[in-house]
Amino acid sequence: MKKLNLFLSVFFIFCSSVFGQGFVFFKPEGALTETFIKNNKEGANSVVETIVNDKVDIANLPVKYKLLSNCSLSETPLKSDFTTVNYITIEKKNESPKDWTLIVHQLKPAPLPFNLSFSKTNPCDLSFENPKPWAGYGIDYSKPTVARFGNSGVGFFVAFDGEAKEAGFELTCVGDQKFDGEMDVEYSQDGLKWKRLITYTPDKPFKNGEKNTLTLPSEARYLRWVYAVREKQNVNLNNISIN
């Protein structure tokens, strides 16, 4: 089984060195995760995505970063206001500029009971404003009516502010296929240290397109879903409830 340390430290970080204009690292103050860095080929924005706690000033957020060799920002200094998504361009001599999307989610625990459903009127996309009680991590924002898991190592987080008894949610394999990977559901008290609630596998699959319910420990204040192993299947998450 692929463990979450791959998700937090290895997966996709290597992509930053594959193509010329990008980041070696990007570390905001108050980070709850390692940073997802995906340096795409020309034709698609490259992506930085990470999650911070609700204690930092998201409108004036200190970030430590380093660019790949011989790269520079088209505009300096880097903007420190991450209440919304930032868009930047990285340049390198004798190469075409590359556009980057900088996504910093500030997780602020929601009061209970908590309900989250994505739809056309409440999209899971990059139009959000911080802080908020949910955060993506490498998910596919081109499918805004759900939280779409399209790669191994990507995840989705929610935060809530009190003791809850159970969590409900819907997971659906795109195309109504039989699930053939591994999906971890984990909880945390502080957003930093995580424990496993369940791992869905082909032998222990989730209810496809139906409500799944898990009992929560009394100390749980954060919940996350991580697509630990993907076997050429996309999975949608929606209709989350914490009670």
Secondary structure, 3-state, 75-121: CCCCCCCCCCCEEEEEEECCEEEEEEEEEEEEECCECCCEEECCCCC
Q: Domain boundary at 59, 88, 105, which?
A: 105
145 lies in the same domain as 70: no
67 lies in the same domain as 145: no
111 lies in the same domain as 231: yes
Identify residue 197 by its one-letter amino acid code. Answer: L
237 lies in the same domain as 143: yes
Looking at the DSSP assignment, which residues form a beta bridge with residue 71? 92
197 lies in the same domain as 170: yes
117 lies in the same domain as 171: yes
Cα gap 118→125, rounded to integer Å: 10
Residue with tokens 């949608």: 236
CATH number of the domain residue 39 falls in:
2.60.40.2340
Q: Is the peptide bond before 205 cis (omega within 30 degrees of 0)?
A: no
Q: How many domains does the chain have?
A: 2
Q: 163: which 2 tokens?
A: 């003791």
Q: Domain boundary at 105, 135, 169, which?
A: 105
Check: CB of residue 138 under 8 Å from CB of residue 153.
yes
111 lies in the same domain as 60: no
Cα gap 149→173, rounded to integer Å: 10
Residue with tokens 């430590």: 64
Taking Cα atoms as reference points, which of 178, 169, 237, 227 lies closest to residue 203?
A: 178
The confidence score (pLDDT) of residue 44 equals 83
Look up the pTM and report it. Answer: 0.92
Cα gap 89→37, rounded to integer Å: 15
Beta strands at 182-188 and 194-200: parallel, antiparallel or unpaired: antiparallel
79 lies in the same domain as 147: no
Domain that holds residue 8: 4-105
60-89 burial, b at 16+ Cβ within 10 Å, e below that, comes to ebebeeebbeebeeeeeeeeeebbebbebe
80 lies in the same domain as 30: yes
115 lies in the same domain as 52: no
210 lies in the same domain as 148: yes
Cα gap 184→205, rounded to integer Å: 11
Instruction: Write out the chain's pLDDT in tens, 243 residues.
Output: 344 444 444 444 444 444 579 999 999 999 999 999 999 887 789 999 999 999 999 999 999 999 999 999 988 899 999 999 999 999 998 888 999 999 999 999 999 999 999 999 999 999 999 999 999 999 999 999 999 999 999 999 999 999 999 999 999 999 988 999 999 999 999 999 999 999 999 999 999 999 999 999 999 999 999 999 999 999 999 999 999
Check: CB of residue 181 under 8 Å from CB of residue 226.
no
Taking Cα atoms as reference points, which of 110, 103, 111 lies closest to residue 139?
A: 103
165 lies in the same domain as 222: yes
Q: Domain boundary at 70, 86, 105, which?
A: 105
